[in-house]
Copies of this chain bind each other. A is one copy, B any other.
């Protein structure tokens, strides 16, 4: 199913995400570099963590009149700015559309939400494939015209299956992975292939109720608010850098089934917001925490 609305024409821009030890003049140095080379800045957000003394920055500029050819920006920036200032940085181009793989199990709400946005042209992304450990959602994938790959997982075959999954991802040049209520824990090995590039949705207000059955645990504890948390996956279960959280109220009248129902709306929105921020290149990770640019 093709997008039903034409994608708006995109500006041809470059985006830099940077962090480095804070010192005087970094901001001026970067903006001067861009200005001097006729890069018209259309976005700039920066933050200094005064305690850890780290400078963070996201800057986006138009390439049209930029004096440095796109292919050489990395080299020039690295040599002239980044290396002297001890920067960790990444460069993105708005016209390179990232490729995203979806991992799902049986629950369709997050999958539908993502495919609806994709089809509606809300996001600049390609979804070459969907991977699942169950066949339940195959019909959904088919209706949206996306390849569906079934990898049943058992204790015995897990290593082997993940290897095949990784090969598949590489073959499709997948840039990042979204776990849309994928009910399998990815191995350390898998995660290391996509550092800060696997986004998960956990159906609780982390760090409360990490692990399995959070709505049951929330009901048992008698909380008055439930939540959902999107985060990058690390090798520590449910402990990766938090991207977004959202909550909704509940009360003694809510059964576990009600919490699950209410939670679905949280989960899909919070996951999609995280994917959107990731696609916008507005996320930086430092020290297991995210910087979320405006």
Contact = CB atoms under 8 A, between A and B. Distances in A.
Interface in A136-165: 136-137, 139-140, 143-144
A246 B262 CA distance: 14
Contact of A289 (B28, B144, B222): B222
A40 B24 contact: yes
Contacts of A207: 208-209, 221, 223
Among the interface residues A2, A41, A205, A288, which one has the most CB atoms of the partner chain B within 10 A? Answer: A205
Contact of A242 (B50, B144, B222, B289): B222
Among the interface residues A2, A41, A136, which one has the most CB atoms of the partner chain B within 10 A? Answer: A41
Nearest to A231: B222
Interface stretch (A94-102, A111-119, A124-132, A193-201): A111-119
A247 interface: yes
- Contact size range, A: 35 or more
A1 to B, nearest CB: 6
A47 interface: yes
A87 interface: no
Contacts of A1: 139-140, 143
Interface in A191-244: 205-209, 221-225, 227, 241-244
Contacts of A225: 205, 227, 245-247
A251 B291 CA distance: 8
A74 interface: no
Interface string A28-40: 1001100100001
Given A44-B46, A221-B289, A222-B290, 17 more contacts: A1-B139, A4-B108, A4-B137, A4-B139, A24-B41, A28-B28, A47-B253, A56-B252, A108-B116, A109-B117, A109-B120, A112-B112, A112-B116, A112-B119, A122-B261, A225-B227, A265-B273
